[in-house]
Amino acid sequence: MKPGSAISYDSVFNAAPDSLQEKSSEVVMARLAGIPGLNMMYCQSLVNGNVDKYLELLNLFVELHANDMTLLVKSLVDGDKAAAHLRVHSLKGSAATLGLDNLAGMVRRLEEMLRVSQYEMLKGDAVHAEINAIKREFGFIVAALSPTISNSYYDNLNKTR
């Protein structure tokens, strides 16, 4: 896939159509490999090649950060700049640590936008657009992990839409 080219949920889900119901680490890793900006070599080195451990860490990441953008918007609306800063900074660091380079870069841009705007958000501005882009990127990661993610993630996601 070319850098910067669009990826759809369908292309991630269809990466291994016959194996969607399997809890296979290989299938999930193949689906993750289809996500631009995922540093697979770094991911492998992170856990000494233990794919199951890496998938466990990614699932924990999803559990901990699935609602970050919704909570960020709430913090911004409430004027809680400290909470907003902490949420964005934590997501950026966690994504970078797990080799989710594209997501980490998006969050880094958002963090800079918020710093420049002094953590104020107006409807329809670039900050709001970046938040939505981060939600979509997060969705691609979740789609790739879907055979290993608990149903509670999907329940929580539906509550925040």
| pLDDT tens sequence across 26-63 | 888 888 888 888 898 888 888 898 888 888 899 999 99
Structural domain of residue 30, as residue ranges? 24-153
pLDDT, averaged across the chain: 80
Write out pLDDT tens, residues 53-88: 888 899 999 999 999 999 999 999 999 999 999 999
Specify if 106 maps to a domain. Answer: yes
Residue 28 is assigned to a structural domain of this protein: yes
Per-residue 3-state assignment (H helix, E strand, C coil) for the chain: CCCCCCCCHHHHHCCCHHHCCCCCHHHHHHHHHCCCCECHHHHHHHCCCCHHHHHHHHHHHHHHHCCHHHHHHHHHHHCCHHHHHHHHHHHHHHHHHCCEHHHHHHHHHHHHHHHHCCCCCCCCCHHHHHHHHHHHHHHHHHHHHHHHCCHHHHHHHHHHC
In this structure, what CATH number is given to the domain that contains residue 130? Answer: 1.20.120.160
Alpha-carbon gap, residue 34 to 30, rounded angstroms: 7
| 2 assigned to some structural domain | no
Question: Is residue 74 in a domain?
Answer: yes
Residue 26 near residue 40, CB atoms below 8 Å: no
For residue 158, is it within any domain? no
Counted domains in the chain: 1
**Residue 39 domain-assigned?**
yes
119 or 45: whose pLDDT is higher? 45
| 68, part of any domain | yes
pLDDT, position 70: 95
Residue 70 lies in a domain: yes
- Tell me the C-alpha distance between 55 and 149, whole Å: 10
- Check if the beta carbon of residue 99 is closer than 8 Å to that of residue 147: no
φ, ψ of residue 80 to 5 degrees: the values are -90, 80
